[in-house]
Amino acid sequence: MVPHLEALKDAKACPLWHDTDLMPDPLPALASDEKCELLIVGGGFTGLWAAIQVKERKPDAEIILIEQTFIADGASGRCGGFLSSSIAHGETNTEHQFPGEAVRLQQLGAQNMKEYLETLERYNIDAHYEHVGETDVALDPESAERLRAEYETARDEGADVVFFDREAMRAEVNSPAFYAGMWHRGGQDGVIDPARVCWGLKEVLLQLGVRIFESTRLLDLEPAGKESMRAGCEGGVIHSDKVLLATNAFPSILGQVRRSVVPVWDYQLATEPLSEEQIDKIAWPRSRHALSDYNNMFHYFRLTKDNRITWGGGASVRYYFNGGTNPSLADAPACYEQLAREFFEYFPQLEGVKFSNKWGGIIATSTRFCMVPGVAYDGRVAWSVGYTGHGVGASRFGARIGIELLGYQPSDILKLQFVTKKALPWAPEPFRWIGIRLTQSALIKADKNGGRRGLWLRFLDMMDMGFTC
């Protein structure tokens, strides 16, 4: 059998982060009609952080959180765990989408990150946080030159960055695929175990008196008089003064939210823990960088506390016609095979290592490539969705916007374009599918050409449109 297929053969179809005895039993589903002040729909980072922040601002708030499956079953429990302070998907996107706000958004992102980590500490949540920054690796000489130029600009602007030429990068992480690297080591960026964050927050919420119902899907939502909302759920009806939709890439019951995001599947593999001998071959567990290709369709790869490698992204990300979100789409053999093959192109010295886990999750991509907030029903319903592959840290800030829009200590952040500027809706099918497929192919081609953008991408740039994950 071909080595990469051999390595994949016994991989368990389960997110690495879920594959642990720490996974709590799901709480009972809703089984009667209920009343509350705030209903939160969605048990991922956004929903959980929203509940925590409301409780911090108004300890006596009566909150119910419902989750259609179990806490951390969405993107939050399936992600790469790269914790970034950027709340608008990186500097370039921030400057492009919200001119004049970059500095303020950067400050807010840093503050969000500080509060994020302080909260974990305050509540004793051991999220396996590692303060390793983030490192981009160039995969060809032209990209290495572009990366060096970016490094010089960042350094001149005062950023805490380190450039590695080919040899230096390979001393940090030994891969023949690497031509250069740039380590962003400032701030508090790093990696976490995402399910540990979700389950830790869940436990805290229960202690704070939040009622949580798992296996409970929101089916419909309508006003009940002028003051409250009626949420029809599997198992009962919840009457609530306010509702926060924290459902991200999953089909929303509100058309406005549905048109804001497209669900993009992103797949990952995790290896078994590396042996001492394997560690010696790649050096990486000593530097512990959290890595991403300096590419459009980038792989992201990191180490876990027990020295496994998680490996995802690249050209195996998929948008399925009509925005498929069915869990069966996690079963994508061709995507896993592609990931496995590419893994050994980066780390041929690891031939023989086995993949223990394979899984997929859904990214909510918005046309502005960062979160989209909104309100409906005279401010009684709010949402925060669409983090576009950059939501581990940003979802805490998205949750803050969501609850402030609902009236929990609103602050001046609500005046930012980041909140007030409407996001362009995605085009309807079949144009959406055709556009995304065309763009993905063009991005893959550009990556193979040292980043040179072809006609289609230049046209999109001119029209102020694009696609990223």
Ligand X SMILES: Cc1cc2nc3c(=O)[nH]c(=O)nc-3n(C[C@H](O)[C@H](O)[C@H](O)COP(=O)(O)OP(=O)(O)OC[C@H]3O[C@@H](n4cnc5c(N)ncnc54)[C@H](O)[C@@H]3O)c2cc1C
How far is 409 from 416, CA to CA, in rounded Å? 16
Q: Of the candidates 30, 40, 42, 134, which one interacts with ligand X according to CB under 6 A? A: 42
Closer of 3 and 26 to ligand X (Cβ): 26
323 binds ligand X, rule: CB under 6 A: no
Determine the size of the site formed for ligand X (CB under 6 A). Answer: 41
How far is 66 from 3, CA to CA, in rounded Å? 44
Q: Which residue is nearest to ligand X (CB)?
A: 391
Closer of 68 and 278 to ligand X (Cβ): 68
Least Cβ distance, residue 459 to ligand X (angstroms): 28
Least Cβ distance, residue 2 to ligand X (angstroms): 25
Sites for ligand X among residues 59-78 (CB under 6 A): 66-69, 73-76, 78
Least Cβ distance, residue 65 to ligand X (angstroms): 9
Partners of residue 365 on adjacent β-strands: 262
Least Cβ distance, residue 42 to ligand X (angstroms): 3
Give the residue among 7, 108, 20, 59 at the shortest CA–CA distance from 370. 108
Q: Of the candidates 30, 80, 311, 400, which one interacts with ligand X according to CB under 6 A? A: 80
Q: Which stretch binds ligand X (CB under 6 A): 96-104, 109-117, 166-174, 384-392?
A: 384-392
Sites for ligand X among residues 149-208 (CB under 6 A): none
Closer of 63 and 218 to ligand X (Cβ): 218
Site string for ligand X, 359-378 (x = CB under 6 A): --xxx---------------
Closer of 353 and 363 to ligand X (Cβ): 363
Do the beta carbons of residue 182 and residue 135 sit within 8 Å? Answer: yes
Closer of 163 and 374 to ligand X (Cβ): 374
Q: Based on the number of CB atoms within 10 Å of its own CB, is 36 exposed (0-12), middle (13-18) or buried (19 or more)? A: buried
Sites for ligand X among residues 83-112 (CB under 6 A): 84
Closer of 97 and 268 to ligand X (Cβ): 268
390 binds ligand X, rule: CB under 6 A: yes
How far is 408 from 400, CA to CA, in rounded Å? 9
Least Cβ distance, residue 428 to ligand X (angstroms): 21
Q: Is the dihedral of CA 56, 58, 62, 63 positive or negative?
A: negative
Q: Of the candidates 94, 97, 135, 247, which one interacts with ligand X according to CB under 6 A? A: 247
Q: Is the dihedral of CA 201, 221, 428, 321 positive or negative?
A: positive
218 binds ligand X, rule: CB under 6 A: yes
Least Cβ distance, residue 463 to ligand X (angstroms): 26
Least Cβ distance, residue 390 to ligand X (angstroms): 5
Least Cβ distance, residue 365 to ligand X (angstroms): 10
Q: Which residue bears the tokens 């051991």?
A: 126
Sites for ligand X among residues 263-292 (CB under 6 A): 266, 268
Closer of 12 and 281 to ligand X (Cβ): 12
Q: Which stretch binds ligand X (CB under 6 A): 146-154, 270-278, 388-396, 457-465?
A: 388-396
Phi first, then psi, for residue 191 (nearest 5°) are -130, 155
Closer of 262 and 363 to ligand X (Cβ): 363
Q: Of the candidates 27, 36, 39, 41, which one interacts with ligand X according to CB under 6 A? A: 41
Least Cβ distance, residue 148 to ligand X (angstroms): 25
Q: Of the candidates 97, 248, 271, 278, which one interacts with ligand X according to CB under 6 A? A: 248
395 binds ligand X, rule: CB under 6 A: yes
Closer of 74 and 187 to ligand X (Cβ): 74
Q: Which stretch binds ligand X (CB under 6 A): 95-103, 346-354, 387-395, 440-448?
A: 387-395
Least Cβ distance, residue 385 to ligand X (angstroms): 6
**Site residues (CB under 6 A) for ligand X?**
41-47, 66-69, 73-76, 78-82, 84, 217-218, 246-250, 266, 268, 300, 312, 361-363, 387, 389-392, 395
